[in-house]
């Protein structure tokens, strides 16, 4: 019953292998020639054009914290680093990024997301 089970996979002829390689190269060049599927919006969120939804993991997120006058006060390389510095949770920092501002020690701070694409 299983006499040929392990020997049915026969090697492809060399001509078929070369055409498959050329086909792959054409597909790769077509994909590289098209535009990016990502679109960075003004708020720092990344939209996936093909599906119409926002990217949940935002790639590398840096946070700029400015005062009322627009002067850079703090710069963090991650949401986690910012949360540890202010002594709050990651979720709180995400909410501050959505709202834009946060009052701490009598000073109004403006949170801005700085995004680089994944």
Q: How far does CA 8 lie from the centroid of its chain? A: 43
- Residue 74 CB burial class (10 angstroms; 0-12, 13-18, ≥19): middle
pLDDT tens column, 85-96: 888 888 888 888
Could you give the CA distance from residue 118 to residue 113 in angstroms, rounded to a whole number?
Answer: 15
pLDDT tens column, 46-65: 788 888 888 776 556 788 88
Give the residue-averaged pLDDT of 65-79: 86
CATH topology of domain 59-116: Arc Repressor Mutant, subunit A (1.10.10)
What ranges do the domains of the chain cover? 12-56, 59-116
């Amino acid at each position: 019953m299983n006499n040929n089970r392990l020997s049915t996979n026969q090697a492809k002829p060399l001509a078929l292998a070369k055409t498959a390689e050329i086909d792959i190269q054409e597909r790769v060049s077509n994909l590289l020639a098209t535009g990016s599927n990502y679109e960075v919006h003004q708020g720092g969120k990344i939209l996936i054009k093909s599906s119409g939804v926002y990217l949940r993991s935002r790639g590398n997120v840096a946070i700029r914290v400015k005062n009322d006058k627009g002067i850079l006060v703090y710069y963090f390389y991650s949401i986690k680093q910012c949360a540890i510095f202010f002594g709050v949770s990651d979720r709180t920092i995400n909410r501050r990024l959505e709202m834009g501002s946060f009052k701490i020690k009598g000073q109004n701070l403006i949170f801005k997301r700085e995004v680089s694409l994944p």
